[in-house]
């Protein structure tokens, strides 16, 4: 049915690309509609602006200031680093006080780029000694990416030698991305020697990111061969780059694709780019999109992008729509953008939307922005909204935002509220902020909340923050909480967090425990987290636990899940090597469904090895449902030849 629409990299760049393309657009709910003919909108289209991620070596931007990251500019960077008088680690440690994450990354990048290739090995040794696991991992990736430019084999050997599975995978990806920018055929050839699975897909995605800057058409084809999330992120990057360089060629390529999932994904990526550069032109592509969720997203996306530069034109386009649902979707996007500069105007516009999720979400977005300059006014407006969980969450979030800028003012306003429920909601927000800067003070304030979920959740959030610097103190506080399942989970989670950041310290604490109940609560999580850093100790502890005990079952499942992220075959081998019993069955059940997403036959082999008949049958059914989505013929053949009961076979074979 024809529908007439109204018209009128270097390391830092890799991190930015992953962040920029990890999220999708907002979702609407129109199933399909027509647009009445109307006079074209004559307001000028949004001014064209470059929307592509800068090509490797071109730099990245923040607040219209260029942070130069190019290889060609390393001489200048090195000169700046030298003139500062700071060594590599001195620069890194000094930057820790910088609250702006982008500026901190830029400082790290300057320090990395100033290093001579021969100095990178020593710098890596210094980085490996850092206690903060996140900072250690990020800096390692940046250093390996730099090293791969001059010696990819050495950088790859270092990355492959890492013990932590997840960190190894991320390090290899960083090396391959940098290698591909220098010698794409060689890097791609090496990646294609890897067995199918998550690591291979991630590395091909990394290569597609780099290729998008040089040959976007080839990057689109490479991206389309990837599965799931990796495909969508790489495709968005490739289409973005292509449309920014040659919009006509990108549009011609996408529109000639045959109808189907590939075309729909390419259209969404193209619209995301064009709606920022030329929304009137983006509208002309809407006829290519089938009715449903994707079309709803596109209407909202165009409304949002257009309103950033010309909100009147965007509102005029929305008002010309005779279908109220279509109008609401466009206005939803307009309100999202208006909230940034004119929150009161956005609130007035949001009130015109029909009652429902779109209206509530638009009001929430406008209030959040209004709270930046007038928190008391925004809270006053929220208090007059109809009671709901959404309103309560808004009040708490805005109070946290206020507390971040003026904690005393937010606390004073909270204590003036006569309604105890409102007071508790506001205090939750204040506690949320205090937990990041004054966790002990936040704990004292949380104790004043009435007993219930709000109090428990606040204490849990505070203890998580407290554990970043004082894990033993956080666990000690949790141990003294009243008995509950929530308390037990908190203790186990805090122990896991500790062992990831400081394995030796966490292990020493565990060995010093005299309370057998606490040891039993944390041992499973502790072993599961310890395995990535010290397999020998973890396995020794695992083998000391009785078969079928909760700790052993949780530990085996945790180890298998951790290995699955980087080495699915290794995870399967680990589970199969375990002695028969409940812990092996539980780990095999959980792992089989994860493996089946990429290798259903291996997943089924694992599920079929479970000894408990009931658990084996359930695992097999879960695997075959996943198998059906990827290869229904092979899955159907397995079902018909299996020993599953006939009623189960019939249910699995029933069309969805």
Residue 75: what pLDDT? 38
CA distances to 148, 579, 630 from 17, in Å: 19, 44, 29
Q: Map residue 475 onto helix, strand or coil.
A: helix
Same domain as 421, residue 393: yes
Same domain as 310, residue 293: yes
Bigger pLDDT: 407 or 637? Answer: 637
Residue 84: what pLDDT? 40
Q: Minimum mean pLDDT among 2-11, 497-506, 536-545, 579-588: which range?
A: 2-11
Residue 504: what pLDDT? 84
Interval 541-580: pLDDT, tens: 888 888 888 888 888 888 888 788 778 888 889 999 999 9
Interval 250-305: pLDDT, tens: 888 888 888 887 788 888 888 888 888 888 888 888 888 888 888 888 898 899 88
Residue 476: what pLDDT? 85
Residue 120: what pLDDT? 93
Same domain as 210, residue 248: yes
How many domains is the chain partitioned into structurally? 3
Report the C-alpha gap between 148 and 179 in whole angstroms.
6
Q: Is residue 518 part of a domain?
A: no
Same domain as 294, residue 252: no
Question: Mean pLDDT, to the nearest integer, of 183-198?
Answer: 89
Same domain as 288, residue 363: yes
Interval 346-386: pLDDT, tens: 888 888 888 877 788 788 888 888 888 888 888 888 888 88
Question: Mean pLDDT, to the nearest integer, of 233-238?
Answer: 77
Residue 172: what pLDDT? 92
Q: Is residue 72 part of a domain?
A: no
Q: Among 4-18, 19-33, 399-413, which range has the highest average pLDDT?
A: 399-413
| pLDDT surpassing 70 at residue 22 | no
Q: What is the mean pLDDT of the chain?
A: 79
Q: Which two tokens stand for residue 161?
A: 């030698």
Residue 467: what pLDDT? 84
Cβ–Cβ under 8 Å, residues 202 and 230: yes
For the entire predicted model, the pTM comes to 0.41
Same domain as 290, residue 254: no
Q: Is residue 460 part of a domain?
A: yes
| Nearest partner of 70 among 149, 131, 127, judged by Cα | 149
Q: Minimum mean pLDDT among 22-31, 288-297, 417-426, 488-497: which range?
A: 22-31
Residue 656: what pLDDT? 66
Residue 353: what pLDDT? 82
Neighbouring residues of 275: CB distance < 8 A, sequence distance ≥ 6: 282, 298, 301, 302, 304, 305, 306
Name the domain boundary from 310, 337, 369.
Answer: 369
| Nearest partner of 395 among 408, 407, 409, 410, judged by Cα | 410
| pLDDT surpassing 60 at residue 69 | no
Same domain as 259, residue 304: no
Question: Mean pLDDT, to the nearest integer, of 502-506?
Answer: 85
Q: Map residue 62 onto helix, strand or coil.
A: strand
Residue 627: what pLDDT? 92
- By CB atoms closer than 10 A (0-12, 13-18, 19+), residue 355 is exposed
* Beta-sheet pairing, 65-67 with 60-62: antiparallel
DSSP, res 63: T
Measured in residues, the chain has a length of 656
| pLDDT surpassing 50 at residue 167 | yes
Interval 208-234: pLDDT, tens: 877 877 887 788 888 777 777 777 777
Same domain as 348, residue 291: yes
Q: How confident is the model at residue 24 (pLDDT cuts 50, 70, 90)?
A: very low
| pLDDT surpassing 60 at residue 590 | yes
Cβ–Cβ under 8 Å, residues 522 and 495: yes
| Nearest partner of 422 among 384, 373, 461, judged by Cα | 384
Question: Which structural domain range is residue 392 located in?
Answer: 374-466
Q: Is residue 520 part of a domain?
A: no
Residue 73: what pLDDT? 38
Interval 459-473: pLDDT, tens: 888 888 888 888 888
Q: Is residue 316 part of a domain?
A: yes
Bigger pLDDT: 518 or 647? Answer: 647
Q: Is residue 549 part of a domain?
A: no
Bigger pLDDT: 561 or 30? Answer: 561
Q: Is residue 515 part of a domain?
A: no
Q: Is residue 432 part of a domain?
A: yes
Same domain as 309, residue 241: no
Report the C-alpha gap between 423 and 241 in whole angstroms.
49
Question: Mean pLDDT, to the nearest integer, of 36-56?
Answer: 30
Same domain as 268, residue 326: no
Q: Minimum mean pLDDT among 31-35, 87-91, 278-282, 527-531: which range?
A: 31-35
Q: Minimum mean pLDDT among 93-102, 227-236, 328-337, 454-463: which range?
A: 227-236
Same domain as 379, residue 461: yes
Name the domain boundary from 246, 277, 308.
Answer: 277
Bigger pLDDT: 5 or 489? Answer: 489
DSSP, res 55: P
| Nearest partner of 69 among 109, 120, 19, judged by Cα | 109
Name the domain boundary from 344, 369, 394.
Answer: 369
Question: Mean pLDDT, to the nearest integer, of 596-614?
Answer: 92
Same domain as 269, residue 239: yes
């Amino acid at each position: 049915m024809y529908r007439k629409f109204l018209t009128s990299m270097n390391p830092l760049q890799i991190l930015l690309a992953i962040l920029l393309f990890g999220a999708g657009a907002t979702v609407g709910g129109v199933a399909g509609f027509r647009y009445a003919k109307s006079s074209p909108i004559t307001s000028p289209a949004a001014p064209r602006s470059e929307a592509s991620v800068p090509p490797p070596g071109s730099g990245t931007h923040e607040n219209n200031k260029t942070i130069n990251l190019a290889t060609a500019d390393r001489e200048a960077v090195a000169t700046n680093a030298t003139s500062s008088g700071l060594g590599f680690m001195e620069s890194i440690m000094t930057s820790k006080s910088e609250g702006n994450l982008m500026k901190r990354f830029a400082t790290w990048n300057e320090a990395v780029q100033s290093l001579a290739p021969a100095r990178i090995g020593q710098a890596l040794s210094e980085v490996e000694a850092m206690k903060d696991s996140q900072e250690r991992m990020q800096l390692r990736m940046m250093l390996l990416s730099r090293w791969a430019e001059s010696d990819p084999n050495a950088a790859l050997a270092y990355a492959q030698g890492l013990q932590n599975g997840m960190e190894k995978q991320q390090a290899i990806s960083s090396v391959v991305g940098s290698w591909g920018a220098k010698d794409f055929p060689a890097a791609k050839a090496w990646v294609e020697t890897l067995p199918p699975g998550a690591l291979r897909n991630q590395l091909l995605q990394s290569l597609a990111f780099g290729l998008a800057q040089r040959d976007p058409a080839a990057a689109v084809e490479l991206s389309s061969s990837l599965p799931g999330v990796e495909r969508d992120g790489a495709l968005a990057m490739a289409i973005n780059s292509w449309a920014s360089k040659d919009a006509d060629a990108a549009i011609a390529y996408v529109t000639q694709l045959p109808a189907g999932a590939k075309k729909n994904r390419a259209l969404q990526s193209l619209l995301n780019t064009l709606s920022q550069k030329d929304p009137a032109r983006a509208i002309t592509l809407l006829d290519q999109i089938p009715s449903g969720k994707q079309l709803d997203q596109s209407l909202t996306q165009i409304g949002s992008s257009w309103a950033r530069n010309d909100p009147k034109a965007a509102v005029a386009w929305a008002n010309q729509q005779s279908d109220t649902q279509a109008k609401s979707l466009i206005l939803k996007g307009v309100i999202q953008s208006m909230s940034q500069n004119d929150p009161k105007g956005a609130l007035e516009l949001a009130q015109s939307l029909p009652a429902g999720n779109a209206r509530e979400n638009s009001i929430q977005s406008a209030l959040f922005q209004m709270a930046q300059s007038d928190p008391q006014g925004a809270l006053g407006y929220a208090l007059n909204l109809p009671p709901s969980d959404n309103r309560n969450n808004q009040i708490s979030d805005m109070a946290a935002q206020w507390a971040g800028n003026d904690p005393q003012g937010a606390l004073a306003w909270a204590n003036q509220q006569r309604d105890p429920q409102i007071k508790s909601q506001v205090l939750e927000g204040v506690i949320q902020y205090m937990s990041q800067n004054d966790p002990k003070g936040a704990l004292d304030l949380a104790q004043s909340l009435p007993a219930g979920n709000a109090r428990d959740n606040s204490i849990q959030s505070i203890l998580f923050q407290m554990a970043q610097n004082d894990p033993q103190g956080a666990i000690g506080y949790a141990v003294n909480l009243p008995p509950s399942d929530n308390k037990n989970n908190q203790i186990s989670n805090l122990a896991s967090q500790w062992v990831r950041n400081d394995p030796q310290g966490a292990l020493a604490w565990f060995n010093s425990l005299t309370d057998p109940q606490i040891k039993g609560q944390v041992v499973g999580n502790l072993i599961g987290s310890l395995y990535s850093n010290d397999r020998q100790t973890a396995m020794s502890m695992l083998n000391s636990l009785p078969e079928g005990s909760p700790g052993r079952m949780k530990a085996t499942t945790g180890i298998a899940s951790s290995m699955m992220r980087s080495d699915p075959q290794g995870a399967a081998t680990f589970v199969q090597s375990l002695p028969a019993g409940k812990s092996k069955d539980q780990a095999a059940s959980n792992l089989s469904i994860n493996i089946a997403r990429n290798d259903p036959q291996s997943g089924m082999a694992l599920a079929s090895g479970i000894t408990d008949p009931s658990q084996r049958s359930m695992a097999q059914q879960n695997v075959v449902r996943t198998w059906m989505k990827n290869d229904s013929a092979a899955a159907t053949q397995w079902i018909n030849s299996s020993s599953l009961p006939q009623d189960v076979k019939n249910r699995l074979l029933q069309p969805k």
